[in-house]
Amino acid sequence: MSTMWVPFEVADFERSAHHYGGLLGLPVIDHWQRDGERGAVYDVGGGRLEIVQTTRPAKPPGLALELPDRPSVDAVHLAAGVAAETTPEQFPRGHYGFVLADPDGNRVLVWTEA
């Protein structure tokens, strides 16, 4: 099973949290503040919307696909061949994944929890 994520880097966490949690009423399912980051994850009807304010902006792809485990990520990476922009790596918060471009150049982060 996979889960679709939309990750956003934001300039003002409080303003964005008010927008998504307050104005739009999306329920918070996770939040954190550590290692120069402050973030929250919202439920959007089976998918996820993540906001992060960080001191180390990374400009992530605008879409992410969560897979169940590392072997699944590695299998997609192997099948993707040249479409994979990066090799699978461990991210600072412990996630594991890589960036994949679709045929039109849209970038998707393919990842799993640690």
Query: Which residues face 8 on adjacent strands?
Result: 51
Cα(70)–Cα(74) distance, integer angstroms: 6
CATH code of residue 77: 3.10.180.10
Q: Percent of the chain beyond pLDDT 90?
A: 68
Compute the average pLDDT of residues 45-64.
88
- In one-letter notation, the amino acid at residue 37 is E
Cα(86)–Cα(49) distance, integer angstroms: 23
pLDDT tens digit sequence for 18-42: 999 999 999 999 999 998 899 999 9
Query: Which residues face 89 on adjacent strands?
Result: 97
* Residue 111 and residue 87 in one domain: yes
* Residue 20 and residue 68 in one domain: no
pLDDT of amino acid 114: 64
Q: How many distinct structural domains can be found in the chain?
A: 2
DSSP-derived 3-state class of residue 19 = helix
* Residue 34 and residue 77 in one domain: no
